[in-house]
Amino acid sequence: MQNTSTIVALATPPGVAGLSVIRLSGLDTFSIADKCFKGKILLHEAQSHTIHYGNFSDNNEIIDYCTASIFRSPNSYTGEDVIEFGIHGNNLLANRIIEVLVKYGAQYAMPGEFTKRAFLNGKINLNQVEAVADLIHSLTVPGVQTAAKQLSGGFSVKLAEMRKKLLDIAALLELELDFSEEDLELIPRKRIESQIIEAISFCEKLINSYSASEIMRNGYFVGIAGFPNSGKSTLFNAIIGRKRAIVSHLEGTTRDYLEDKFYFSGFPITIADTAGLRETTNEIEIEGIKLVDSVLEQSNLIIVLNDITKGIDYSISLFDRIKDKYAHSKVIYIQNKADLIPNLPINEFNISSKNDLGIDELQKYIYNFAVNSIDGVSDILINKRQTNLLMNAKEALNIALEGLRNQFENEIIAIDIRKAVKILGEITGESWNEEVLEHIFSRFCIGK
């Protein structure tokens, strides 16, 4: 699919900077650029992968002195002719230069349009497109590293291998059908079975890595829950290292929930303080308690904070309820106000939020949970779209496996295997539609 328009956008963040980069891509890149960039030679005569210094002007008025980097089709990010102007980092300059390029025939790029063109021109597959988005947006170092690996295409190769294996099985099953009179078994049933099982567990492993992938993208999320006055807000303030939440001896102080981030060994962890849980008739407090649910629902780890002066087991029934209700989260039981119990050793489980005792230990403990939760994910950051596809592929494979075990006709089994192959192909974009592309590119920013 050949795009006829030439698009332009700022590729770097807007604002004051040492440099900004403006990207121009499309059929008319050189003719447009030569109307406003004057260097030693005309850019349409310049070789690919060369950089040229000159001035950018409009009607003889010089707007900036800049560089022009040349990438000729097909050896560019989009696969089209591309010029990247390295200009001085002032938003006013960038806007002016883009306006001039538009005046000479370029169009403003849509979000992700450069990457979309790269995909449509076969430079990268869909799975790599998604890696680009993750590479830009990931908040954690392991997230960035994994996205970079995914971009290099290693996972796509693994996926292609799995699809090929399945296609081979389907083809052999169909071939057998042609010789059915002769009762020929081209591959033993046990082997087919084990290959289907292998493919199912391949899908399962990836599906299960979804929540770890989300943590690698966005960091770890911790919710603090407990009865009123257990010291949740005091703990929240101690962990983030500043007085953000109101603390008071009155029960039911916190209503809205508060969120903030702290970093441990460079890993971002978001922590949320919530309203104390109790039976109440106060309308505002009831609303606050409802909000707790939305916080705990999205928490990777929930701290149930107990006021130890009321007894070690005072919040244990709450702890059990929370564990049951949020079964997908880790839930830990922490004793607060340990300073009020003589001779109690301080550690990550027995803390004093008010006196900052055991807080470092608790932070480290949370960090270890975070790191363990992403252990083993290194090839790809799975997203919702891929998870859905993998679940559908797994379902088709399970049906094929069932058919095989029940000695269904080869033809029927092969249909389900081919179905799984087709679905797996959608991950890399062997087949796609506009809706899928729109969904993917909605996450992109302009200029990427």
Give the binding site for ligand GTP (CB under 6 A). 226, 228-234, 247-249, 251-254, 275-276, 336-337, 339-340, 352-354
Instruction: Give the single-character DSSP code of 44.
Output: G
Q: Which does 248 bind (CB under 5 to 8 A by kind): ligand GTP, Mg ion, none?
A: ligand GTP
Q: Cα–Cα–Cα angle for 363, 266, 257, nearest 5°?
A: 55
Residue 254 sits in the site that holds Mg ion (CB under 5 A) = yes
Whole-number Å distance between alpha carbons of 196 and 169: 9
Residue from 69, 76, 237, 253 binding Mg ion (CB under 5 A) = 253
The span of 36-44, 144-152, 231-239, 351-359 binding Mg ion (CB under 5 A) equals 231-239
Residue from 6, 121, 127, 233 binding Mg ion (CB under 5 A) = 233
Smallest distance, ligand GTP to C-beta of residue 327, A: 24
Whole-number Å distance between alpha carbons of 382 and 198: 19
- Nearer to ligand GTP (CB atom), residue 145 or residue 309: 309
Q: Which does 312 bind (CB under 5 to 8 A by kind): Mg ion, ligand GTP, none?
A: none
From 90, 47, 82, 32, select the one nearest 66 (Cα to Cα): 90
Asked if residues 7 and 16 have their Cβ atoms less than 8 Å apart, the reply is no
- Nearer to ligand GTP (CB atom), residue 99 or residue 360: 360
Asked if residues 7 and 448 have their Cβ atoms less than 8 Å apart, the reply is no
Instruction: Please classify residue 408 by burial: count the beta carbons closer than 10 Å to its beta carbon, then call 0-12 exposed, 13-18 middle and 19+ buried.
Output: middle
Asked if residues 54 and 38 have their Cβ atoms less than 8 Å apart, the reply is yes
Q: 375 by DSSP, 3-state: which?
A: coil
Smallest distance, ligand GTP to C-beta of residue 274, A: 8
Q: H-type helices in 46-188, by residue range?
A: 91-103, 113-120, 126-137, 141-152, 154-178
Smallest distance, Mg ion to C-beta of residue 365, A: 22
- Nearer to Mg ion (CB atom), residue 190 or residue 249: 249
- Nearer to ligand GTP (CB atom), residue 243 or residue 405: 243
Start-to-end Cα distance in the chain: 20
- Nearer to ligand GTP (CB atom), residue 351 or residue 393: 351
The span of 55-63, 186-194, 224-232, 388-396 binding Mg ion (CB under 5 A) equals 224-232
The span of 155-163, 175-183, 226-234, 394-402 binding Mg ion (CB under 5 A) equals 226-234
